[in-house]
Amino acid sequence: MAGINITSVNRQVKDISQEIYAAKLQRDEVQSKSVNKDESSGLQNAVADKLSDKSNINTAFSDTAATLSISALGAEELEKVRDSWNNHPVSALYEKDIPVSKNAEGVYKIGGASFNDEELSAARDLITGVGSQLKNGYLSYRDYAKMEVAQKVVDNRAYEGFNDDQAKAISKAMKDYNNNLNRTQERMLANKKTKTNDDPESGKYFGIEVHVPSEVRKSTNEYASTDIATNKELIDKIRDSIKSLDINDKDAVNKYKSVYEDIMRAVYTAQYPFQRNSDLDDILSKDINEILKLSGRV
């Protein structure tokens, strides 16, 4: 594992939690006693001697010693150390109600990137502004397309207006935001009484029917068909078609309209078998306008 550069010994000693430091010091002391002084690894022996000396923490955590010792941490320990450095998860970039605190350097450490007050506010506005245009509920094929466009829009703006580390954290946060939309749907369905749509045509694409309470039921059917997208292969196909789209190219965006129509016409024909072609055209047009509205190309 590559060493982690430590520029300020005193600050990092304070940042590392006491439990981790104490446990590690004890382990290093045991290791130092077993080091063969006659081996060629003289630097390792010197570091081990320093780490076994509890009387001088600052000496024990000299730049070289600290770099090597932290490099020796296991993945779980290292993650705890990183957490102790006040590194907030990327969800802090879209969950505005959750407070975040600055680290010792006076910045917000989120997803491995540093943000000042202005940058944090701008990043949050970007993600929540785009995210507010996405559906938080049952997800149709159109919604999955919009989620992918939202990801591209956020990525483009992030890399244009932020540094690389910040842009990576923002991109990851948008992906996390989209994944949360899927989890929201899962929770909603877990609390609903559902059944499989066994229609040989529409069931291929809309495989879930939801129970309708008798007090709001408008027909004798206990279950109603939904526009919940259930064909995973089709979802992937739609999302991939967006991933390959350059949303900054107006001509490419215009051509995408026919791509989406080709994918979804058969789907809507199965869902609405008695609709006229003109009605299906209207449905497809509405979809495309909603999807591309996010890109600013409609």
pLDDT digits (tens, 9 = 90+) for 206-234: 999 999 988 878 778 899 888 999 999 99
| pLDDT at residue 20 greater than cutoff 60 | no
- Which pair of structure tokens corresponds to residue 93? 């970039």
**pLDDT given at position 86:** 63
Structural domain total, the chain: 1
**CA 96 from centre of chain:** 16
| pLDDT at residue 166 greater than cutoff 60 | yes
| pLDDT at residue 47 greater than cutoff 50 | no
Residue with the two structure tokens 């979802």:
235
Does the residue 186 lie in any domain? no
Q: Identify the CA nearest to 229 among candidates 262, 274, 181.
A: 181
Does the residue 267 lie in any domain? no
Does the residue 248 lie in any domain? no
Q: Is 152 exposed, middle or buried (0-12, 13-18, 19+ CB in 10 A)?
A: buried
Percent of the chain's residues with pLDDT above 90: 56
| pLDDT at residue 151 greater than cutoff 60 | yes
Q: Can you tell me the mean pLDDT for 15-23?
A: 46
Give the mean pLDDT of the chain. Answer: 80
| pLDDT at residue 178 greater than cutoff 60 | yes
Where in the sequence is the domain holding 38, given as residue range(s)?
9-85
Q: Is 87 helix (H, G, I), strand (E, B) or coil?
A: strand
Q: Can you tell me the mean pLDDT for 77-103?
A: 78
